[in-house]
Amino acid sequence: MTLDTIRAHCRTLRLPTVAHIAERTLATAQREDWALETLLLYLLEQELDGRRERRVVRALKAAHFPADKTLETFDQGRLPLRLRRLLPQLCQGDFITRAENVLIFGLPGTGKTHLAAALGFEWVQRNYSVLFLPTFKLVGGLLRAKRDYELERELRRLDRFQVIILDDLGYVQQSREEMEVLFTFLEHRSTKRVVG
């Protein structure tokens, strides 16, 4: 069996990482006299790692995080000591499976958006599906969906995200219609207890 055939079979079986590393890995295995179990285990581990990386890339793209808003770029010195101590626990995201909310309050320019996005980034790394969007965009989308008699469909579409981070809640115009769709969304999320 040729290497091209092995690669073709890997692509058919949807093993893109194995297809990509097959030649190099087989050469290493022969040179270092790997046992067959060692070779198979290595290939499967590489495929699993590749799938995880691709899943994270897709999830980060779907989340719509603002650029460069991670914990590495966040000045944690801006946070009160109590919150800095709580940060590792928040990053774990255990509250997500309990369908609990996190609210971040502060004056303009204090880093609320950065912190929320950074936490969302951490949750994606831990296999949670996250959507980050300004509240006005959510409300605008819900208003359009309501106008087109598609509100239930839009709410179900949003259900695919375990976490929805609403940024700048205070900037919603607060008209009756806007508040109505926002509360419909919040009530839908709380009754569905969307946790994936």
Instruction: Examine the fold and report which residue of 35, 63, 91 is the final residue of a domain before the chain moves on.
Output: 63
Q: What is the pTM of this model?
A: 0.82
Quick one: 127 and 164 in the same domain? yes
Query: Among residues 63, 91, 114, which one ends one of the domains?
Result: 63
pLDDT in tens, 21-40: 999 999 999 999 999 999 99
Report, as ranges of residue numbers, the positions in the chain whose pLDDT lies below 50.
Answer: 194-196
pLDDT digits 0-9 by tens, 165-174 = 999 887 666 7
Domain harbouring 183, CATH code: 3.40.50.300
Q: Are residues 58 and 86 in the same domain?
A: no
Strand partners, 165: 132
Domain containing residue 21: 3-63
